[in-house]
Amino acid sequence: MLDSAFRRDAKERPNMRAVTFSRFGGPEVLEVSELPEPQPGPGEVRIRVAAATVNPTDISFRSGRQAAQLTGTGVLPPYIPGMELAGVVDAVGEGTAWHTGDRVMAIVTPRRPGGGAQAELVVVPATSVARVPEGTSLEAAATLPMNGLTVRLALDRLALRPGQTLGVTGAAGAVGGYAVELGVSDGLRVIAVARSQDAALVKRFGAQTLVPRGDAAVRGLHDAAPGGVDGLIDAAVLDAAVLPAIRDGGKLATVRGFAGPSERAITIEPVRVTSYLHNHEALDRLARLVAEGRLILRVAEIFPLERAADAQRKLDAGGIRGRLVIVF
Ligand SMILES: NC(=O)c1ccc[n+]([C@@H]2O[C@H](COP(=O)([O-])OP(=O)(O)OC[C@H]3O[C@@H](n4cnc5c(N)ncnc54)[C@H](OP(=O)(O)O)[C@@H]3O)[C@@H](O)[C@H]2O)c1
């Protein structure tokens, strides 16, 4: 549907600008292209994008590491990266409850014919959209949908009970930070693994204990949760190396596909946020947590779309606290 929306009457419609790439490679393959404006079909909204974030997945997509995921999708270059955005609804298809002018944020997969989030206009299903809380900037709102829903999915898969312990690696990062905050909001006792310099940050998220990252992290998690944590969200992608930190029969949520082998009856839950692409209720609940001040949105730096390559270079270099945001 999006494919035809994208190409139908393309010659007669005005263009929009988007961050694109037409071959896999380094950040230099990114460019700004003019593409025909997409039109919303039934059940879809078109968003005039104010801000879209840069995430590790955009680097994998551009480098070709995710090329296999394009097989059978019919997605052709130019590719548009980006999985989350915020902006203002500027056109609606039939059968949606959204209105022109609504301030919204949305999650989108770039592995579809209509492309990803880093474009002036993006068409998404109405189910991928939530209202931006009043008082929240569109730049900040753009940092929530993809990583917030990833953590919501991870916590849903871990299915821990209030009072149980949750370990979080990479706790100062985008996924890790939300994992600490949403874990706390679910009533869990959160033990965060991060650099010692990030102690104040992860405490602000609500972590009960900070365990310094590195070789002694597993021992530190056992000191904080004797016998091991009940569940762990591994945002630092340590994979098998964190299994010893989890109690017998506990659960591990992984974010880069690690599925085992496991040990001591630990369940491994590989998480893919695309399962929650249409989970409007979950996105809406995340927005409410922001409105209630229980979820902190962090913008590290803002880039114009012409500097998308610089943003990817900066993210790839590591050490960013908060998200890099492209504005349109
Ligand atoms: N499966 C899905 O659906 C899904 C969705 C969203 C994200 N992800 C994945 O989740 C991961 C985290 O994403 P993100 O956006 O949160 O990245 P991020 O903001 O860069 O955070 C990663 C965190 O992990 C830390 N870290 C990196 N290597 C480490 C190591 N060896 N030991 C301990 N800590 C380490 C980093 O610390 P420094 O910055 O100090 O190095 C940083 O705080 C990425 O791999 C991303 O692709 C998957």
Distance 270 CA to ligand 1 centre (A): 15
Our CA angle for 168, 174, 176, nearest 5°, is: 5
Distance 37 CA to ligand 1 centre (A): 34
Q: Cβ < 6 Å from ligand 1: which residues?
A: 55-57, 146-147, 150, 169-170, 172-176, 195, 213, 235-237, 255-256, 271-273, 318-319
* Mutation choice for ligand 1 from 180, 255, 258, 268, CB with most ligand atoms inside 8 A: 255
**Residue having the nearest C-alpha atom to atom 39 of ligand 1:** 319
d(CA 310, CA 327): 13
Distance 181 CA to ligand 1 centre (A): 16
Each residue's pLDDT tens digit, 56-102: 999 999 999 999 989 888 899 999 999 999 999 999 999 999 999 99
Query: Which residue type sits at 304?
Result: P
Could you tell me the pLDDT band of residue 1, with boundaries at 50, 70 and 90? very low
Distance 238 CA to ligand 1 centre (A): 10
Give the pLDDT confidence score for residue 10 in this predicted structure.
52
Could you tell me the pLDDT band of residue 281, with boundaries at 50, 70 and 90? very high
Distance 310 CA to ligand 1 centre (A): 19
Share of the chain above pLDDT 70, in %: 96
* β-bridge partners, 168: 192, 233
Our CA angle for 304, 306, 311, nearest 5°, is: 70
Query: Which atom of ligand 1 has the smallest separation from the CA of 175?
Result: 16
Give the pLDDT confidence score for residue 2 in this predicted structure.
45
Distance 101 CA to ligand 1 centre (A): 34
Query: Which atom of ligand 1 has the smallest separation from the CA of 257?
Result: 1
Reduce the DSSP state of residue 167 to 3 states and report it: strand
* The residue to which tokens 């946020």 are assigned: 273
Could you tell me the pLDDT band of residue 11, with boundaries at 50, 70 and 90? low
**Residue having the nearest C-alpha atom to atom 4 of ligand 1:** 255
The residues, ordered by sequence, that sit 6+ positions from 111 with a Cβ below 8 Å of its Cβ are 61, 66, 69, 70, 73, 75
**And the tokens for 87?**
């902006």
Is 295's pLDDT higher than 90? yes
Q: What is this structure's pTM?
A: 0.95
DSSP H/E element including 122: strand 121-125
Share of the chain above pLDDT 90, in %: 93
**And the tokens for 127?**
């189910």
Query: Are 308 and 19 in contact, with CB atoms under 8 Å apart?
Result: yes
Query: Which atom of ligand 1 has the smallest separation from the CA of 172?
Result: 43
- For 170-216, the DSSP string reads STTSHHHHHHHHHHHHTT-EEEEEE-GGGHHHHHHHT-SEEEESSTT
Alpha helix positions (H), the chain: 2-7, 56-63, 138-141, 145-158, 174-185, 199-205, 217-224, 280-291, 308-316
Which has the minimum average pLDDT: 70-74, 75-79, 137-141, 306-310?
A: 70-74
* Mutation choice for ligand 1 from 144, 237, 316, CB with most ligand atoms inside 8 A: 237
Mean pLDDT across the chain, nearest whole number? 95
Cα 6 → chain centroid: 25
The CA-atom distances, in angstroms, between 185 and each of 131, 168, 258, 292, 295 are: 20, 14, 26, 11, 9
Residue 4's CB is within 10 A of a number of other CB atoms, namely 12
- How confident is the model over 168-196, as a mean pLDDT? 98
Phi, psi at 131, each rounded to 5°: -75, 140
Rg of the Cα trace of the chain? Answer: 20
Distance 220 CA to ligand 1 centre (A): 20
Cα 308 → chain centroid: 17
DSSP state at residue 29: G
Distance 237 CA to ligand 1 centre (A): 7
The CA-atom distances, in angstroms, between 174 and each of 59, 198, 205 are: 15, 13, 12
d(CA 206, CA 191): 9
Residue 314's CB is within 10 A of a number of other CB atoms, namely 18
- How confident is the model over 176-199, as a mean pLDDT? 98
- How confident is the model over 240-251, as a mean pLDDT? 98
Is 40's pLDDT higher than 60? yes
